[in-house]
Structure 1
Amino acid sequence: MNVRDKFSKGEQRVHVDHPQMSEQLSDYLLQSLPNNKQVVIACVGTDRSTGDSLGPLIGSMLQDRPLKTFHVYGTLEEPLHALNLKETIKAIHRTHPQPFILAIDACLGKNSSIGSVSIAQGTLNPGAALKKDLPPIGDMHISGMVNVGGFMEYVVLQNTRLHHVMKMAAKIAAGIRLAEKKRTYVYQPYSAATKKQQR
């Protein structure tokens, strides 16, 4: 769970109620995802908190029909959260040499921004809304604004409507699936790439 108060440079936003939300999200992703790297989707959050379950919900939705080229970490069954984040980041880099990580997390912010989904380059800072010191993750990130921040964050998260979070999760998952379908992926073996760099 992170916090978002203002736009960052190069950030794109789309609202969950926009009729073309998933299509717009897929277009934003396609503009930034490299075609020669494995894409790892790190869905951060926990199933123990309604407001913070956005990431695991998306992970489970994506795993229901496995993706062909994207690799998913973080589901309702096996959440990616504060207790295992450091170890999972290490495991991702061991399993996927030089991956491009798309991190996904719920966030809190202004009341007027609830329902917004932001897509931006750069790392995500999980746990920032709850003042947790966790390692940043991601080359690119998606943040879903699930509720208002600034006071009693734990209570706010527990009282976030599940319907609202599930609706956002379904549309984000649909956008990711659409992006993978449109993407042209050219696999570049790590060993070959390494030899080329050494010349």
Structure 2
Amino acid sequence: MKKILWMTIACVLLFSNHALAHTGLESSIPAQGSTVTEKLNEITLTFLTKIEETSSFTVTNSSDEPIEVDGITVNENVLTGNVTDSLENGTYKINWKIIGADGHPMEGVIDFVLDAPEEVEAVEPITEPIDVVEPNETIKEELDTTVAADNEEEEEGSNFTIGIIIVLVIILALAAWWMTRRNKK
């Protein structure tokens, strides 16, 4: 019976440490749901813990066409890459896949909008004011919905881990109760 008790304690400690060891995205440039208002040359993703060298990301436009990214590098917990071509204004997605220091693979998506001033050849000065185009409201709503869904997924993962720990604590308490009851006989 003592073996069961010790095995239960070991499981609680093993699973609780494992659950806390997973990494996640800490920040990104561009940020999730942001509107970038200047030319985008470099993408930087920062994670909560060190990530493996095999970690990478891709960029796609609103038509899911790939955008060329050069020089993707990993430095501890930072993943960076350079956008080789000048991007047109529009909606983009960064699809990242990493392996955390704990060996756990993770992936995610960062949506952003590029609304940078277009480069104009200096042929003749512009005499009329340029109309400023506001970002499409449905794109903003879609990005807000994506952020809310990501937050719900993270919360569900945390609730699952807490549930496992609670079940293991209950098993431990029942084992201790059974041992004391058995010893009294």
> Normalising to structure 2: TM-score of the pair?
0.32
Identify, as 1 or 2, the structure richer in strand. Answer: 2
> Normalising to structure 1: TM-score of the pair?
0.30
Higher relative contact order (CA 8 A, sep 6+): 1
Structure 1 or 2, whichever has the larger Rg, is 2
